[in-house]
Chain A
Amino acid sequence: MSSAPAVDISHLAYRYGEHEAIRDLTLGIAEREVFAILGPNGSGKTTLFRVLSTLIPIQQGEVRILGLDLRREASAIRAQLGVVFQSPSIDKKLTVLENVIHHGRLYGLGGRELHTRAEEMLSRLGLAERSRDLVEKLSGGMRRRVELATGMLHRPRLLLLDEPSTGLDPGARSDLWQYLEQVRDNDGVTVVVTTHLLEEAERADRIAIMHKGQLAALDRPDALQAAVGGDSITIRTKDPAGLSAEIQKQFNIPAMVLDNSVRLEQPNGHQWIPRLVEAFPDRTESITLGKPTLEDVFIHFTGHRFWNEVDPETQPKGRGRKKKSGH
């Protein structure tokens, strides 16, 4: 973090009517880092993305992007931003090349320079052969690459991507991340990605974990995992509350209740397994031991399971929605 931060957010708040989507958020993103904003649906990450991409105005707090004030200098910021939306902003009725050209004109490019850049960008993303094809004929992964080509065409200094791997198969997802790393290393671009995929966020340089509109944790992926402290042990049981209390009483260690299970974080987890099974033989349906994953990190910092959040952002019309579960 030698230079000024690429993104500097302080005390940002945003509400949709009664619902507080972002609450008093303060964080900084360094230049030339791949930064993941991780959170379940409804954590406020999409709202944050919309604020950063200048799509919605700031309600409270301050945001500086590349040294510019988002409130007053939004259009100067826009020229430096590459934005890749979750729902594609490319036109399906146009060809790949036409989309890229149109986009370039929106950023003040034109003439031969635009065409040269467009072709360069398309061949870099492996789209040269498909440049005359209509976008509607492309696969999801290909379309995402067109989006990336348009997003990077005007050489932005900050690339914002909202859930970029939605609808991508694992291979395409891996390609995407490789490309993002390339963009950071070769072009010196700061990359900010929102995601709800835990395994994806692990590839970022740093992760901000969002929960209910607030920052739950912020660090490098390995540091976050180290913060969990040891191994995670999950015991499935019919009476998690009772079992949790018993464990705390008997062993004097913290035990968290999550749905139908009790969760412990202890160093040398393997030694705890026999002790726990022996102590509560008929109350343990299953017991699992694992190295901490980002889900453990999320649980550690928020006390909630990652997938149990209701999503107020995706139900603006007040329609009810069932909680997601599983995972």
Chain B
Amino acid sequence: MSTISVNKPATVSAWPVIFTLSQRELVRFFRQKNRVFGALVQPIIFWLLFGAGLGTARVGGADSNRLDYSHFFPGTLVMILLFTAIFATISIIEDRREGFLQGVLVAPVPRWSIVMGKVLGGSAIAMLQGIVFLFLGWITGKLGWFQVISPSTTALQWVAAIALMFVISIALTALGFLIAWRMDSTQGFHAIMSVFLLPMWLLSGAFFPMDVGGWLGWIVRLNPLTYGVAGLRHCLQNESVGVGLPSLSLCWIVSLAFAAVIFAAAWSIAGTRSTGDLL
């Protein structure tokens, strides 16, 4: 009756593990209706708020207000990626508390595949939402309401924008993973979010222009997220790109490096075993 094979591979290959873990993230996301609702409605609310804001600005009649709205568009896109990525990785705290994670930790899988599964799953959710918002931006232009994406954006630029969004999502999800791995409560994560992640977004050129002076300007320049926002400006708004914007190639280099470094850090922290694994 016993058909036990003794010669099992020591470690299973990573890709099915990555696939199954990211699939789980997506299934969980779509099964929690309030999350789906939030994810779809949030971009629409932003869009409406901006629309309303622009409406009142229009009373002044100044043409530059158009630039203001389009100025916020890439930043809002990044904010959507940030929120979704971060909220997706908070679930690692839940996984740990509810016990799911320990089952994964004792499986014969490489640690990096655990990180990759979580990060890709979170990024996929962030991308879904980001693309919905991107679509809203495109349609408002088509309808002639307001031009937030340059009408001359080429197919290649669209692809580049989406690819860059993906890189930013990976970086932000990995960052969320890095922060969440050692936390034992979601409250702690929210504290980090308000003192670290939100300022990081505010100082990414999403809000202030790039050429803000003094120490604030330095923070903006040192903030890797700045280059994600700027890269999206390059891709989607090539005509109205502001002064002092870093070059597109620099944006790519910094964004890719940001994602790689944070992912490596997340991998290395996930390799540490401590009593923290045992909540």
Binding site for B on A (CB under 8 A): 16, 50, 53-57, 73, 75-76, 78-81, 83, 85, 87-94, 98, 101-103, 105-108, 110, 150, 155, 157, 186-188, 316
Q: Is the CB of A105 within 8 A of B16?
A: yes
Chain B residue nearest to A67 (CB atoms) is B6
Q: Is the CB of A93 within 8 A of B28?
A: yes
* Contacts between chains A and B (CB distance < 8 A), count: 108
Interface-side segment among B101-109, B121-129, B222-230: B101-109
Q: Within the assembled complex, what's the spacing in Å between the Cα atoms of A155 and B98?
A: 25
Q: Name the B residues within 8 Å of A186 (CB-CB).
A: 1-2
* Interface residue SS majority, chain A: loop
CB distance from B65 to the nearest CB of A (A): 45
Q: Name the B residues within 8 Å of A150 (CB-CB).
A: 103
Q: Within the assembled complex, what's the spacing in Å between the Cα atoms of A110 and B15?
A: 12
Q: Name the B residues within 8 Å of A188 (CB-CB).
A: 1-2, 4
Q: Name the B residues within 8 Å of A50 (CB-CB).
A: 278
Partner of A107, one of B28, B102, B107: B107
Q: Within the assembled complex, what's the spacing in Å between the Cα atoms of A316 and B184?
A: 12
Greatest chain B CB density within 10 A among A16, A102, A157 is at A102
Q: Is the CB of B275 within 8 A of A56?
A: yes
Within 8 A of A (CB), among B180-236: none
Q: Is the CB of A85 within 8 A of B99?
A: yes
Partner of B3, one of A16, A79, A155: A155
Chain B 57-69 against A: per-residue CB contact (8 Å), 1 yes, 0 no?
A: 0000000000000
Partner of B8, one of A57, A80, A83, A110: A80
Q: Within the assembled complex, what's the spacing in Å between the Cα atoms of A273 and B236?
A: 93
CB distance from B147 to the nearest CB of A (A): 41
Interface-side segment among B19-27, B36-44, B72-80, B255-263: B19-27
Q: Is the CB of A93 within 8 A of B27?
A: yes
Q: Is the CB of B103 within 8 A of A87?
A: no
Assess whether B244 is interfacial by the CB under 8 Å rule: no
